[in-house]
Amino acid sequence: MLSIGGITPFTTIDYPGKLAAVLFCQGCPWRCEYCHNKHLLEMKQPVVHSWEDIIYFLEKRRGLLEAVVFSGGEPTMQQGLPDALVFVKGMGFLTGLHTGGAYPDLLIDCLPYLDWVGMDIKAPFELYERITRVSGSAKTAHKSAELLIQSNVPHQFRTTVDPFLLEDGRLQIMIELVQGWGEELILQEIRRI
Ligand code: SF4
């Protein structure tokens, strides 16, 4: 159903206020320099965790975990995500999504089955391609943000504060952009490995 490149079996920080497992989905169309999940970027990798293994893992954690978060990589790169969300909800878990918003068309299909979304805002939109190194990324991310704002799915807009964003008032531009949407930009520290 989905290509999963890694699992965090238990976390308290990836779904607000809930005990969750994180499934790291294989594949991402963007190439951010600071990416700490580079092993997930290519879609075609040997299977690390089969979907059957994931189901077995989740079955054993019914009643222990409250939520399952689909992270990545970019989970919306995989067409099987809506079905996977339906399946996991059917097991009784809340569903969460971490996304950069690269695929708004698939996000539309996922929203009815999501209980919470954390969307990364990577830069002021006019500078997006300097972070993602992929043309058109600002347009898709902006569309995804609009979809979230218009939805009734609880969500957060978040950004990883790297040195690029601390120059030329870029972070402040982003904070004000999200405030203009009537929301708050959550700031996260860059993770070093
Ligand atoms: S969007 Fe996320 S997973 Fe994709 S390259 Fe950027 S940091 Fe890595």
**What's the chain's average pLDDT?**
94
75 lines ligand 1 (CB under 6 A): no
pLDDT > 90: percent of the chain: 87
Q: How many CB atoms lie within 10 A of CB 45?
A: 13
Q: How many CB atoms lie within 10 A of CB 100?
A: 25
What mean pLDDT comes out for the span 58-85?
96
124 lines ligand 1 (CB under 6 A): no
How much is the pTM?
0.95
Nearest alpha carbon, ligand 1 atom 7: 35
59 vs 66: CA distance, rounded Å: 12
Cα of 24 vs centre of ligand 1, distance in Å, is 12
Q: What is the pLDDT of residues 122-181, one digit of tens each?
A: 999 999 999 999 999 999 999 999 999 999 999 999 999 988 999 999 999 999 999 999
Q: What is the pLDDT of residue 193?
A: 45
Class of 4-159 in CATH: alpha beta
187 vs 190: CA distance, rounded Å: 10
pLDDT at 21 over 50: yes
